[in-house]
Chain A
Amino acid sequence: MAEVETKRKKSFYKENVPLLMQGNEACALGALAAGCRFFAGYPITPSTEIAEILSRLLPRVGGKFIQMEDEIASIAAIIGASIAGAKAMTSTSGPGYSLMQENLGYAYMAEVPCVIVNVMRGGPSTGLPTKVAQGDVMQSKWGTHGDYFPIVIVPSSVKECFDYTVKAFSLSEEYRIPVTVLSDEVLGHMREIVKLPSQEELNIVTVPKPYEPPEWYKHFEITPDFRSPMASFGEGYRFHLTGLTHDEYGFPTASKTEIVRKLEKLRLKTMRHLDELTDVRVEMMDDAHIMIFAYGSTARAARQAIRMARKRRFKVGLIQPRIIWPFPDQIVREYLERVDLVIVPELNQGQIIREVKRLRYRHVKIIGLNRFDGELITPQQILDKLKEERH
Chain B
Amino acid sequence: MADTEKVEVKKKWKKRSDPVVIYKKWCKACFICVEMCPQKVFDTDRDGYPVVTRGLDCTQCSICWLHCPEFAITSSEK
Whether A and B touch directly in their complex, counting CB atoms under 8 A apart, is answered as: no
